[in-house]
A and B are shown apart, each in its own frame.
Chain A
Amino acid sequence: MAQITCENLTLGYEGHPVVSGLSFSVNPGDYLCIVGENGSGKTTLMRSILGLQKPLRGKIQFGDDLRAGEIGYLPQQTDVQRDFPATVREVVLSGCQARLGRRPFYSAAEKSLARKSMERMEIGAYAGRCYRELSGGQQQRVLLARALCATRKLLFLDEPVSGLDPRMTAEMYDLIDSLHREGITVIMITHDIAAAARYATKILHIGNPFFFGTRDEYLRSPSAKSLQRMNGGDPA
């Protein structure tokens, strides 16, 4: 059964649709890349799936094993975070907030989950360091560790490599790929069509022309060709 099913979605702000007629589904184990030009509604779609805004029309359904709060989310960084006094440990632990329920404080189990996530992301050594003093790549690992505290099923990544240098970008993609091979479903918004072609199992192209299907189908489709021309290269 699909983890997320979107049927005939119309998304937008204050009654103005940005994108309409969107239908697709995400199955367990998928690596879905969402591509499309700026302003085509990628971020709006992500916010709708995360429950941050309501779709204007249509519906989003979650499969039996996934509830809305169980999506690990890697957002783009905000200005606030750049001067926020918080240690890596505090940031990662906040990924467990959905497990708090009515309790005011985190339990030992949640603290150990945060510790394991940090080790998995190879940032255990930075646990006591200040988040704002880390490099861009390290900060992304911290946020990914936080997302892992929130889920073991589905990660939603919003342009995870923007602002990273080529080496860090490659490391980040490897890390995401290894999580995917552990069985976590990955949905990634990206501008990097080469990475989409390399790692994704499915691709959703929002905009004109609309496309949803497997990677191989996408690479033969007209929308891929138009993007290839813009990027000036061979995607595979």
Chain B
Amino acid sequence: MMETIRMYLQFPPVRYALIVGVLIALCSSLLGVTLVLKRFSFIGDGLSHVAFGAMAVAGVLNLTDDMLFVLPVTVICAVLLLRTGRNARIRGDAAIAMISVGSMAVGYLLLNLFNSSNNLSGDVCSTLFGSTSILTLRLTEVWLCAVLSLLVTGIFIFFYHRIFAVTFDEDFARAAGTRAEACNLLIAVVVAVIIVLAMNLVGSLLISALIIFPAMSAMRLFKSFRSVTVCSAVLSVTCALAGLLVSILAGTPVGSTIVAADIAAFLICCLIAACKGGFRK
């Protein structure tokens, strides 16, 4: 088996896929705790559907570099969703449902009306569930992914204490003069960037899993914000690597294999937590 892996690693596309996969897994896990605890998980889900719609539009317009279109659209929607979340007239969750379902429907409609490829359902399926496209990344895309992932990680480390403060107690943070609105905006923008990045890896329907599972797993085991964050990053990277290798060896779909690894990790963490609790009693 090691022989086969070594053979595959000689191909640059496989190496690129592993590098990009690890980086995306790293930055997608960082904000998981914050999103789960701020009850923002659905924003992640909604935004991934928006990204699908934007991808469809980019496909119809025949853009060569669709990431340059999808990224700004998703960021703008993230900002809008956060704004309406505060608005009492349209409740936040309803607004998210409307935008996400709407962009899915319009995206698929546009793809059908202006069908430019002869394998429509194949294209849609790969956008939704990820595809082998991670193995066909061009060098520029690899660089873009790498730079954005490192940027996201850097921003997270720089704003770590403020993100903690705003997540734990937004009112206290605002009373202490921390600019909570700006912090929430930053979180939304970073989530949008993560989602567009992760679309390459697992497809738009499975992104939430990449964000939420490592955080939930880590929360079973650890008790401090820092150790939960570190643990979820480690788990996420490990699962992404394992998933990528398995999918290369066994020929399974990349996205769902990675998510399956995340689910397995979550179950193992639950089991460990249950055993620990049992011993303590």
Contact = CB atoms under 8 A, between A and B. Distances in A.
B176 A87 contact: no
B219 A85 contact: yes
A12 to B, nearest CB: 14
B154 to A, nearest CB: 10
A71 B168 contact: no
B159 interface: yes
B48 to A, nearest CB: 24
A85 B222 CA distance: 7
B74 to A, nearest CB: 26
21 contacts: A50-B171, A51-B174, A52-B171, A73-B171, A75-B169, A75-B172, A78-B169, A80-B39, A80-B167, A85-B222, A85-B223, A86-B164, A86-B168, A91-B168, A94-B168, A94-B169, A97-B176, A98-B176, A128-B224, A129-B223, A130-B223
A105 B39 CA distance: 26
5 closest A-B pairs by beta carbon, nearest first, are A69-B177, A130-B223, A50-B175, A87-B224, A98-B176
A177 interface: no
Interface of A: 47, 50-52, 68-69, 71, 73, 75, 78, 80-81, 83-87, 90-91, 93-95, 97-98, 100, 104-106, 128-130, 133, 146, 150
Contacts of A71: 175
Interface string B138-181: 00000000000000000001111110110111011111111000
B228 interface: yes
A73 B178 CA distance: 14
Interface string B31-44: 00100011100000
A91 B224 CA distance: 10
Contacts of A106: 161
Contact of A104 (B159, B167, B168, B226): B159
B114 interface: no
A105 B33 CA distance: 20
Interface centre among A93, A104, A129 (most CB of B within 10 A): A104
Contacts of B219: 85
Contact of B164 (A50, A80, A94, A150): A94
Interface string B172-207: 111111100000000000000000000000000000
B224 to A, nearest CB: 4
Contacts of B33: 85
A97 B173 contact: yes
Contact of A52 (B157, B175, B225): B175
A117 to B, nearest CB: 14
Contacts of B172: 73, 75, 94-95, 146
Nearest to A89: B224
Contact of B224 (A73, A85, A97): A85
A100 B165 CA distance: 12
B228 A85 contact: yes
B226 A73 contact: no
Contacts of A68: 177
Contacts of B173: 94, 97
B224 A90 contact: yes
Contact of A73 (B165, B175, B225): B175
A69 B226 contact: no
Contacts of A75: 169, 171-172
B160 A84 contact: no
Contacts of B169: 75, 78, 80-81, 94
A213 B33 CA distance: 47
Nearest to A83: B37
A71 B174 CA distance: 11
Given A84-B168, A85-B33, A87-B224, A94 B175 contact: no
A86 B172 CA distance: 16
A69 B175 contact: yes
B160 A104 contact: yes
A87 B228 CA distance: 11
Contacts of B178: 97-98
A90 B164 contact: yes
